[in-house]
Structure 1
Amino acid sequence: MALSEWWPELGPWLVGTWVLYLAVLAGWIVLQKREPIATLSWLLSLAALPVLGLLIYHFFGPQRIVRQRRRRSLARRGLQSALPADLHPSEDCATVARLAQAATGYAPCTATDARLLVGGQATLDALLEAIAAARHHLHVEYYIFEPDRTGTRVRDALAAKAREGVRVRLLLDALGSGRLGRAFLAPLLEAGVELAWFHPARLRWLWRPRINLRNHRKIVVADGRVAFTGGINVTDDENEAVNPRAFHDLHLRLEGEIVRWLQLAFLEDWHYATGVAPRDDGLWPPAPPGRMVAQALPAGPDSPWEPVHRVKVEAIHQANHRVWLVTPYFVPGEAARMALTSAALRGLDVRVVVPARSDSRVVSAAARSYFDELTAAGVRVFEYQPRMLHSKALLVDDDTCIIGSANFDHRSFRLNFELSVLLHDAGVAAGLEAELQATLAHCREVRAGSPPAPFLRRLGDASARLLSPLL
């Protein structure tokens, strides 16, 4: 039957159904109260792709997690009675620290030692040393834990400690560590390691998927005295000792009061994932005060305040002479772009370091779309050439650093569970400066006024930028 024959009968029904579909989804999306540009982008996509657009929005669109937020609140509340008296908000805070405390509930404290670990090999060596020295407990949390040579070494070390009677809890993200099979995990379970999964796949989540709500944190706490956090996962892809093309990344080894707050972050995640609030004796050994000011910055979609985003932007605004940012994924929102360009326009030394070749072509293309604006304002942009740059750090002036798992993009600021550490210490800042100088030696600078890229590349970059709210 020709279109002209059936359209008079079915056409009005199809148009009416399409209009009703748009009205219902528009109400749903508008009530999310996101940025107008993101809301309009989703509405146009859903109008143009009635079925496919709905599926994309359902699985990848912005998700409010009211139930998860309630569960996170209950997880923290369930631990309160067992927490030491010093794990409570402080009234004596500087501006950035006060902002961080209000957004996270984590107070500033001190560290007796903060060691910057450069690369996966140095991090693995320090981690295995801490595991071997553990006598009471090991709390381990990762986004990616692979069944490769690096993963096998860590697995065997954890299993060995469990057989010695050390209590080992291992929390893994179900998506990032999804390649771990029963055969690989068997030695851990047989040794008595307690294994839990963050947001494991379940059939009921086909209706409320959690593809975006991943646990991107990397936390290890040994005996409540030594802690690790940063950007390095347990995988050969981030261990240059076994893979010459391994990602270049940073990690931290910490001692002192800051370990208590990383312990709290792990225990909250464990309670959230398992429903069990650990109350073992020995979780909170005495922590002597140190000379370094430190503050843990947990962030995730369970908080409406975007703590890492706010703290980084505020630190940039308060900078006096230098802002150096290194990130593998650079997709800044308006507030972050404004902070960087304003700092450069004030005459500060502002540098942004990104990989020349990322593991995500779309993210790299979106990042390039911002370079013209940044360089025009005086921001110096550098592309790291040798391999994938995975470091995530911010250096402000000569004494302030933020190092952790969070990238400088919407996904880290809003969609993933992240953890960074804010450090005020000239020694740590000097170490980070030296590392960034070494990184810059292998970079190509993107200069203002350079000849424009080919048209198709510029079109691709601009198109990828439209996906910024999803990246």
Structure 2
Amino acid sequence: MEKLYQILALAGVIGYWLLVASVTIRVVIKRRAVSVSLAWLMIIYIIPFVGVLLYFLFGELNLGRKRAERSQKMFKPYGEWFTQLHECQAHQPTLLNIQLSQIHDLCSNRTAIPALCGNTLSLQDTPEKILRSIIDDIESAKDNIRIEFYIWQNGGLVDAVNSALIQAAKRGVNIQILIDSAGSPKFFRSHWYGLMKESGIKIIQALEVNAFRMFFRRLDLRLHRKIITIDDEVAYTGSMNMVDPLYFKQDSGVGQWIDIMVRVTGPTVNILAAIHAWDWEVETGERNLPSFPLCSIEPNGALHPIQVVPSGPGMPENLIQQVLTLAINQAKESVRITTPYFVPSDNLLQVLKMTAQRGVLVELIIPRKNDSLLVNWASKSFFSELLDAGVRIYQFGGGLLHTKSVVIDQQYCLIGSVNLDMRSLWLNFELTLAVDDKEFTKELYWVQDRYLSQSISISPSEWEQRNFTHRMLERGFYLFNPLL
């Protein structure tokens, strides 16, 4: 019997060794950032068995067979729809400034989505202003409403949004809502979910989470976009989920969440509606492309060009990071960034350092308190490098700063759902707008000024005096970079 145990033990050791060896080879041959591969190898070897299991669950970008097949089939018809936009009057590539022109060339070559002119933009920077504006537009809807969010939580003015949607459905408006399954479990158990479905609203749990699906799709792949389009005439996007911050995560100890949204009219609305249609079809198999935009622009009117930049599985890889890199590299005077979660890729880290080292003012505003313990500590592991390079880092003390924005030279900006972390840049379904509008950018810059007034600057000399325990926590949590 003892010999049998010895044989079984030896077989187990050999089997585990073969498993680890095969996973190691798989990690190495995957084409990704070296730091990510090294971090995964450390997790696999430092945490026996569990490390291998974590890699199988979270190590690779696996959309699932059905969704992957749909995405492949969809790329051609959606590409043709986007390509038609290049012929419309609102497409004026020769009139774009050099910065947006290069972003336009990158996006139109990789996704066929061009920058379009003839838009209007309204920056909304308080929850009440955002939600009441959304309610007013829903109450005016006549034909269709498309919505997608990561988090939908009832309470406060969100209940008024729910009521407005139910009333719109009752008067015959076609409403399609995509809500991320993992981000909104409470909503799907609420009475509002039942009431909205009974009224005729089509509500889909995007990327549904259950134990069975973990073997067929990466569970932490999430729908993180925030999009509302109404009658293909009005759209909203930005950083705020469908929540009223006065009723959201009040016991998390980080304060009220601080967000912004952009209200858009013009031909860019149809592109945002097409992005929603893409996500809807990936999830359901139903095609419902929006109407083609009128594309008219007023003679001698302001152009207000916007480039829509989507990312996610099935779409061109790494596009948003490329746009970020391109925009920051073009900066001549200043780059100001706000993000709640800062765990940058090696490439983005080097771009930020190099930009500061060539004399450009680089400012990074992040929340002092974060709802993610892992991210809170992992982000601090980058501070020394950035501070040494001349990047100015500020910690916002007025709540959880959730706004995702980048202002370049106070001339143009990026605004959307994208955090500066590996999850947003590599994994999730995300959306950002590149906006070439000086007045709008100036408005956003003033909002960032307000954030700065509630922030404390991190002094390089004081940062170097942090204790040994602090440094070890930074390095320890940094190991989990691939999971953040």
Question: Would the TM-score normalized by the shorter structure come out above 0.5?
Answer: yes
Does 2:273 match 1:260? no
Residue 53 of structure 1: how far off its partner (Å): 1.8
- Asked if the contact 1:84–1:284 (Cα under 8 Å) also holds between the matched residues in 2, the reply is no
Residue 238 of structure 1: how far off its partner (Å): 6.8
2:98 corresponds to: none
- Asked if the contact 2:151–2:242 (Cα under 8 Å) also holds between the matched residues in 1, the reply is yes
Residue 462 of structure 1: how far off its partner (Å): 1.7
Residue 267 of structure 1: how far off its partner (Å): 0.8
Query: Within 5 A, what are the aligned runs for 1:123-272?
Result: 123-180=130-187, 181=189, 183-202=191-210, 204-237=212-245, 245-272=255-282
Q: Per the alignment, in what secondary structure is the counterpart of residue 431 of structure 2?
A: strand
2:321 corresponds to: 309
For the aligned residue pairs, the C-alpha RMSD in angstroms reads 2.6
Distance 1:188 1:262 in 2: 23
1:61 corresponds to: 59
Offset from partner CA, 1:120-166 (integer Å, 9 cap, x none):
22211111111111111111111111132333221111011011111
Q: Per the alignment, in what secondary structure is the counterpart of residue 185 of structure 2?
A: coil
Residue 71 of structure 1: how far off its partner (Å): 2.0
Aligned residue among 416, 420, 431 for 1:419: 431
Does 2:109 match 1:102? yes
- Asked if the contact 1:399–1:428 (Cα under 8 Å) also holds between the matched residues in 2, the reply is no
- Asked if the contact 1:78–1:277 (Cα under 8 Å) also holds between the matched residues in 2, the reply is no
Distance 1:446 1:83 in 2: 45
- Asked if the contact 1:239–1:247 (Cα under 8 Å) also holds between the matched residues in 2, the reply is no
Does 2:354 match 1:342? yes
Residue 55 of structure 1: how far off its partner (Å): 2.1
Distance 1:185 1:136 in 2: 22
CA gap of 1:28–1:83, structure 2 versus 1, over 3 A, is closer
Distance 2:274 2:357 in 1: 40
Query: Within 5 A, what are the aligned runs for 1:370-409?
Result: 370-409=382-421
Offset from partner CA, 1:266-293 (integer Å, 9 cap, x none):
111111111111267xx34524335111
Residue 30 of structure 1: how far off its partner (Å): 2.8
- Asked if the contact 1:224–1:284 (Cα under 8 Å) also holds between the matched residues in 2, the reply is no
Instruction: In structure 2, give the amino acid aligned to 1:187.
Output: L
Q: Percentage identity across aligned positions? A: 27
Q: Which moved more, 1:199-208 or 1:174-183?
A: 199-208
Does 2:328 match 1:293? no
- Asked if the contact 1:110–1:295 (Cα under 8 Å) also holds between the matched residues in 2, the reply is no
Residue 11 of structure 1: how far off its partner (Å): 4.8
Residue 419 of structure 1: how far off its partner (Å): 0.6
Residue 305 of structure 1: how far off its partner (Å): 2.7
Residue 321 of structure 1: how far off its partner (Å): 0.5
Long gaps (5+) in structure 1: none
2:23 corresponds to: 25
CA gap of 1:33–1:84, structure 2 versus 1, over 3 A, is closer
Does 2:450 match 1:452? no
Distance 2:64 2:473 in 1: 36
Distance 2:434 2:45 in 1: 43
Residue 259 of structure 1: how far off its partner (Å): 0.8
